[in-house]
Structure 1
């Protein structure tokens, strides 16, 4: 046993070392010419996927369900096999559109829809924020175990509050210190990698000590299990509906390893090179195997020592503690602490970014009284991060040891599963559109809440049990755990079947029957094209032959006014100076139309990095305008391009009165018309070829018949001659 003061001192020293590591890495990165992280760092940072639910909970899962705990990780391994296609494409899109989060990624694919971005954010908050509470519960309960105290509400008064405050400070200092979340958080990533190594080392140390130091190896441990008739750890069909549970957990693991907000951030937003995906494809599975290799031995050792199955979630601590190995016990506690804090810090950062960009900022845009808040987005994210963390702290304190908190791991994974159709459908199905995405997400979210959250609240006594047994208002087919008459399945399996089915159904139907706008079709094509990019966009200006007549100073002031509303004066000056330097227009009084278009494109990228692509596009449409001459010249340039590429002139189009970017839609419209014309001409040619082929066959048949008639005529003539000769 350790005293509470000793454990707090050790944790404080550990956190101080992490602070020092983050500061050293950020200082070193700041003074290097390249900020590209090594591939192994990128791969190890993705091991934040393994939380305290893995470190502690996998052993408890194995005690109650045997090898079923592996199903989540089997799904994760299957997902890794697709990373060279899926993850690389996500990184390519991030580089092209300055994606800031999973919500920004989905909304960018579907017309930069603020509604979709907001809905994705709400789903993420609903599923992940309580999962943060689960991590805080693991920290506090493990603290109680290592200090020999019984878990009580009083333990939350200081210990939990202190840990939550430290993680909030760490999140702000190294995660939300900059407004642009697409900037590299080298210090944060270094800490994640360090914590991933610590939790792996701690788990391996406990596993090696128990397996080889106490029980003499895997074979001896297996013999002892057989002698004690403890066979549930190795039986694959020990639980009811095990086949359905295996398939369900595999699907959840497949989705979670790519679509959890924290996984998307470290795997996509923080990526500095697409080639690092190749390293992650072999290093991440290796990590997964190592952190799970001793789960069953630890579970077996706890049962052999007579520990109650109810405390199996903390066998990693209890077994070495019972054997009197204080040092290994403390190491195990630090490993579990690392597993929990890594997830909490990165999840809080991503959720605060999504909430500020897609919930708070749109409200500020629509409510005139809140407009001044747009200049304090960074401070708003700090407040949101504090609200998320301390709300999770209060939730964990209120729901300590309740059913909802224990089941929150799988409940969160089912929530994240709702992103699967819109993400992969958007990446590989060109016909997926915004209405289908919105309907699918909404349907899946509502079914998830009805089939998982409502039953959990009923079991806590917050809602009447009649809803569970008789359905709302006596409607039997709406019973939460027997929806549409499907009964007898585990709650998670039942929810996955219905939520994913409704999600897919509404996504396909909405996309099939709804015709998207030209703007959405254009953006979808750009999105699809960006996925095929193999390198980072240079962002440099393109050469042009147009005359430089556009006064640069008014355009610069217009952009400065726009950015200042969101980024502040200092950040605005820095961003505009970089854009002007990249375009080589710093000392120019007049610029070309193409340079102006590039200036606005790069301006939107900078803005998207801070407030999200959807909000940035809306701000650009509202604030940036082209003059009549500029719009006319852009149209003329487009006509020239069409004439060169397609060999024909297009009809002139009216300039947009609302957006200088509408000429891109007009260009795409003309291309669509040309493609349609070509398609019709190809059909006509094919029809003519078929007619020609029929005529040829008819002529061939006529020739055969004519030849046959000629032969028959000659035969008749010959016979007539023979007859006449014989008569004569």
Structure 2
């Protein structure tokens, strides 16, 4: 046992080391010409996927269900196989639209809908905030184990301390600046360090337990062959194991891509698409190594007779039982690293999503809240504090409850609801905002009804009659027997119904709802961005035509827009940076192309701070065009289409009745799509030329072989003639 104050001191020293590392990396990055992180750093940062639920919970899962604990990780491995297609497309879209979160990504695909972004944010908050509580509980429980203190005392001593340290860390290195698309080099460095700490800790403790309890591998295998231990290595021991395996694999497949923290480190923080290839072998390797000693530790705990109720903490309890304090402390530090890494990045992403997609739209609608738009950064700090505080309170209230223990898988089912609008939306251009909205809403409601409501009933917060007879006596609405299906395990039951209705409503909504032209144009733009591999969002493009548009009013208009969200100093700095990139500083007038580029870059800057959906809405509401400017935009569009396609498409320009910024956005999206189409055609031509060249080589080889055969035949014929003579 350790004294409580000693462990608290160790925690403080550890966190101070993390602070020092983050500060050193940020200062070092600030003076370097490039902020691109190495590929191995990017790959290791993705290991934030492995939380205390992995570090502690995998052993507990194995003790109760054998090899079934691998289901989540097999799903994650299967997901990695497709990263070069799915993840690379997400990164390409991020580079074009300056995506800030998974909610921003989904809303950008579907008409930049604020409602969809808000729904995704609510879903993430519902699923992830309690998961943060689970991490806090793991820290407090492990502290209680190694100090021997009562859990209520542990909450008083460490719970609040950890929460405050994580809040300070999140603000300093995660949301210190308004633009969440900037590289958070210090935070990523800390994530990588913690990923290494938890991996090394688990491997070292695992080797120690293997040698101390079993001696060698042969003894371990002999122990596992005993009848009471056989189930640890079996793949089919619980009822409905096939359904459970499938469900866990599906959950793991979705979680490793769509958890808000995973999306942030894999997409938002990505600095080079080539790093995905590095991650595609490093992440699976990490996954294998961190799970290598799960079964040996589980078997050791059972062999030593430790109570099954404490199986989740066998990683701590086995070395403690063996009297090895240093190994116990190392296990505690590893679990602490696994929990805090998740807390930091999840709090940051949830705060960004909440401020951009819940608070900001409300401020725009409610007049007396409008001044808050100028304090968006401070609003994020408050939201981060509220998220951590609510998670802390929830963890204390539910510290020994069923809900918190099951929260890991419940959260994964919540995040699974994001899979249809993301995956189908990336590959099926006919998916639209109505389908996404109805599908998400149906999945969200069924997730809550089939998983959250039964958990609340188990805690005694709701009457048990809902489970037995259904609400208001409607039996087919029973949460764990929805529509009369009562033979599935609760987790499988929830995944089946929520995903069935999610996908069904997505397809039906997309099939029956005909989107407006503006949404179709945005969909084409999104698809073109994925094919562009992120090259569309570069610096300013070539300019031309007559300069007649006064620059000063446009600068004032842009500055007024940015001041609402960024503050006066940053707004002025952003406008100056745009004019410098466009090379129009000091010019009295702009051309129509320069104006188009100016507004495109203005939205790009704004999207980095408030999200793509909010930025687009703000541009549509605040940016205006004169009649001549709008007419010139249409004429320019017709001209460029004619240049790109070799045929006049003026009818399309006349067809659109959109005005102002909406027309500019439509025009830009169609031009981007044409550029992508031309690029595809060039690639196809190159492939055909290569195939043709290969065919020519093949024909040439056949001719040479035929000629050789003719020579041999002629030689053989002559030889036969000579022999007959």
Q: TM over 0.5, yes or no?
A: yes
Q: Could you tell me which residue of structure 1 aligns to residue 676 of structure 2?
A: none
Looking at structure 1, the residues matched to 373 and 165 of structure 2 have their Cα atoms a distance apart, in angstroms, of 28
Deviations 1:399-426 (A, max 9, x none): 1110000000000000000001000011
Contact persistence 2:421–2:436 (CA under 8 A): yes
Contact persistence 2:562–2:606 (CA under 8 A): yes
Looking at structure 1, the residues matched to 109 and 670 of structure 2 have their Cα atoms a distance apart, in angstroms, of 19
Q: Could you tell me which residue of structure 2 aligns to residue 460 of structure 1?
A: 459
Distance apart, 1:541 and its partner CA: 2.1
Q: Could you tell me which residue of structure 1 aligns to residue 719 of structure 2?
A: none
Looking at structure 2, the residues matched to 408 and 499 of structure 1 have their Cα atoms a distance apart, in angstroms, of 17
Do structure 1's residue 665 and structure 2's residue 663 form an aligned pair?
A: no
Q: Could you tell me which residue of structure 2 aligns to residue 93 of structure 1?
A: 93
Q: Could you tell me which residue of structure 2 aligns to residue 118 of structure 1?
A: 118
Looking at structure 2, the residues matched to 602 and 299 of structure 1 have their Cα atoms a distance apart, in angstroms, of 56
Q: 1:75 to 1:359 in 2, by over 3 A?
A: same
Q: Secondary structure at the match of 2:150?
A: coil
Moved more, 108-117 or 205-214: 205-214
Do structure 1's residue 527 and structure 2's residue 518 form an aligned pair?
A: no
Gaps of 5+ in 1: 673-728
Deviations 1:83-121 (A, max 9, x none): 000000000000000000000000000000000000000
Distance apart, 1:227 and its partner CA: 4.2
Looking at structure 1, the residues matched to 346 and 599 of structure 2 have their Cα atoms a distance apart, in angstroms, of 32
Q: 1:433 to 1:657 in 2, by over 3 A?
A: closer
Looking at structure 2, the residues matched to 670 and 310 of structure 1 have their Cα atoms a distance apart, in angstroms, of 62
Do structure 1's residue 106 and structure 2's residue 106 form an aligned pair?
A: yes
Distance apart, 1:641 and its partner CA: 2.6
Contact persistence 1:101–1:265 (CA under 8 A): yes
Looking at structure 1, the residues matched to 126 and 408 of structure 2 have their Cα atoms a distance apart, in angstroms, of 12
Q: Could you tell me which residue of structure 2 aligns to residue 688 of structure 1?
A: none
Do structure 1's residue 33 and structure 2's residue 10 form an aligned pair?
A: no
Q: Could you tell me which residue of structure 2 aligns to residue 449 of structure 1?
A: 448
Aligned pairs (5 A) from 1:265-280: 265-280=264-279
Contact persistence 2:94–2:267 (CA under 8 A): yes
Do structure 1's residue 149 and structure 2's residue 149 form an aligned pair?
A: yes
Contact persistence 1:298–1:315 (CA under 8 A): yes
Q: 1:663 to 1:225 in 2, by over 3 A?
A: closer
Q: 1:475 to 1:535 in 2, by over 3 A?
A: closer
Distance apart, 1:535 and its partner CA: 4.9
Moved more, 124-133 or 236-245: 236-245
Aligned pairs (5 A) from 1:581-660: 581-644=580-643, 645-648=645-648, 650-651=650-651, 653=654, 658-660=659-661
Looking at structure 1, the residues matched to 123 and 280 of structure 2 have their Cα atoms a distance apart, in angstroms, of 28
Q: 1:308 to 1:617 in 2, by over 3 A?
A: same
Distance apart, 1:154 and its partner CA: 3.5
Contact persistence 1:631–1:655 (CA under 8 A): no
Q: Could you tell me which residue of structure 1 aligns to residue 251 of structure 2?
A: 252
Deviations 1:273-302 (A, max 9, x none): 111000000000000000000000000000
Looking at structure 1, the residues matched to 108 and 267 of structure 2 have their Cα atoms a distance apart, in angstroms, of 15
Distance apart, 1:580 and its partner CA: 1.2
Distance apart, 1:350 and its partner CA: 0.2
Contact persistence 1:477–1:484 (CA under 8 A): yes
Do structure 1's residue 303 and structure 2's residue 295 form an aligned pair?
A: no
Looking at structure 2, the residues matched to 237 and 581 of structure 1 have their Cα atoms a distance apart, in angstroms, of 65
Q: Secondary structure at the match of 2:613?
A: helix
Moved more, 228-237 or 566-575: 228-237
Distance apart, 1:643 and its partner CA: 3.7
Indicate the RMSD between aligned Cα atoms, in angstroms.
1.7
Looking at structure 1, the residues matched to 93 and 664 of structure 2 have their Cα atoms a distance apart, in angstroms, of 23
Q: 1:671 to 1:6 in 2, by over 3 A?
A: closer
Contact persistence 2:528–2:672 (CA under 8 A): no
Contact persistence 2:97–2:537 (CA under 8 A): no
Distance apart, 1:212 and its partner CA: 2.9
- Scaled by the length of structure 1, what TM-score is found? 0.90
Distance apart, 1:658 and its partner CA: 4.9
Q: 1:545 to 1:227 in 2, by over 3 A?
A: closer
Q: Secondary structure at the match of 2:149?
A: coil
Contact persistence 2:522–2:669 (CA under 8 A): no
Looking at structure 2, the residues matched to 120 and 563 of structure 1 have their Cα atoms a distance apart, in angstroms, of 26
Distance apart, 1:189 and its partner CA: 0.2
Contact persistence 1:74–1:253 (CA under 8 A): yes
Distance apart, 1:647 and its partner CA: 2.7
Contact persistence 1:55–1:339 (CA under 8 A): yes
Q: Secondary structure at the match of 1:337?
A: helix
Looking at structure 1, the residues matched to 364 and 246 of structure 2 have their Cα atoms a distance apart, in angstroms, of 45
Distance apart, 1:444 and its partner CA: 0.3
Distance apart, 1:532 and its partner CA: 1.4
Looking at structure 2, the residues matched to 254 and 186 of structure 1 have their Cα atoms a distance apart, in angstroms, of 27
Contact persistence 1:100–1:181 (CA under 8 A): yes
Q: Secondary structure at the match of 1:619?
A: helix
Looking at structure 2, the residues matched to 274 and 671 of structure 1 have their Cα atoms a distance apart, in angstroms, of 20
Q: Could you tell me which residue of structure 2 aligns to residue 199 of structure 1?
A: 198
Q: Secondary structure at the match of 1:653?
A: helix
Looking at structure 2, the residues matched to 41 and 528 of structure 1 have their Cα atoms a distance apart, in angstroms, of 29
- Scaled by the length of structure 2, what TM-score is found? 0.91
Looking at structure 2, the residues matched to 583 and 665 of structure 1 have their Cα atoms a distance apart, in angstroms, of 22
Contact persistence 1:131–1:408 (CA under 8 A): yes
Q: Could you tell me which residue of structure 1 aligns to residue 712 of structure 2?
A: none
Looking at structure 1, the residues matched to 208 and 667 of structure 2 have their Cα atoms a distance apart, in angstroms, of 69
Contact persistence 2:121–2:354 (CA under 8 A): yes
Contact persistence 2:48–2:262 (CA under 8 A): yes
Distance apart, 1:226 and its partner CA: 3.0
Moved more, 654-663 or 120-129: 654-663
Q: Secondary structure at the match of 1:232?
A: helix
Aligned pairs (5 A) from 1:38-49: 38-49=38-49
Aligned pairs (5 A) from 1:170-185: 170-185=169-184
Q: Could you tell me which residue of structure 1 aligns to residue 413 of structure 2?
A: 414
Q: Could you tell me which residue of structure 2 aligns to residue 424 of structure 1?
A: 423
Aligned pairs (5 A) from 1:303-702: 303-537=302-536, 539-644=538-643, 645-648=645-648, 650-651=650-651, 653=654, 658-665=659-666
Q: Could you tell me which residue of structure 2 aligns to residue 59 of structure 1?
A: 59
Q: 1:669 to 1:531 in 2, by over 3 A?
A: closer
Q: 1:649 to 1:289 in 2, by over 3 A?
A: closer
Greater radius of gyration (CA): 1
Looking at structure 2, the residues matched to 333 and 668 of structure 1 have their Cα atoms a distance apart, in angstroms, of 52
Q: 1:413 to 1:476 in 2, by over 3 A?
A: same
Contact persistence 1:632–1:655 (CA under 8 A): no
Deviations 1:587-617 (A, max 9, x none): 2121211011101000001111111111111
Looking at structure 1, the residues matched to 475 and 174 of structure 2 have their Cα atoms a distance apart, in angstroms, of 48
Looking at structure 1, the residues matched to 574 and 28 of structure 2 have their Cα atoms a distance apart, in angstroms, of 23
Moved more, 119-128 or 631-640: 631-640
Q: 1:295 to 1:671 in 2, by over 3 A?
A: closer
Q: Could you tell me which residue of structure 2 aligns to residue 698 of structure 1?
A: none
Contact persistence 1:621–1:658 (CA under 8 A): no
Looking at structure 2, the residues matched to 116 and 523 of structure 1 have their Cα atoms a distance apart, in angstroms, of 15
Distance apart, 1:236 and its partner CA: 1.6
Deviations 1:549-570 (A, max 9, x none): 1111111111001000100112
Looking at structure 2, the residues matched to 160 and 664 of structure 1 have their Cα atoms a distance apart, in angstroms, of 49
Contact persistence 1:518–1:669 (CA under 8 A): no
Deviations 1:634-690 (A, max 9, x none): 222223234443433624738867533315537989999xxxxxxxxxxxxxxxxxx
Distance apart, 1:382 and its partner CA: 0.3
Q: Could you tell me which residue of structure 2 aligns to residue 208 of structure 1?
A: 207
Q: Could you tell me which residue of structure 2 aligns to residue 697 of structure 1?
A: none
Distance apart, 1:225 and its partner CA: 3.4
Looking at structure 1, the residues matched to 574 and 221 of structure 2 have their Cα atoms a distance apart, in angstroms, of 63
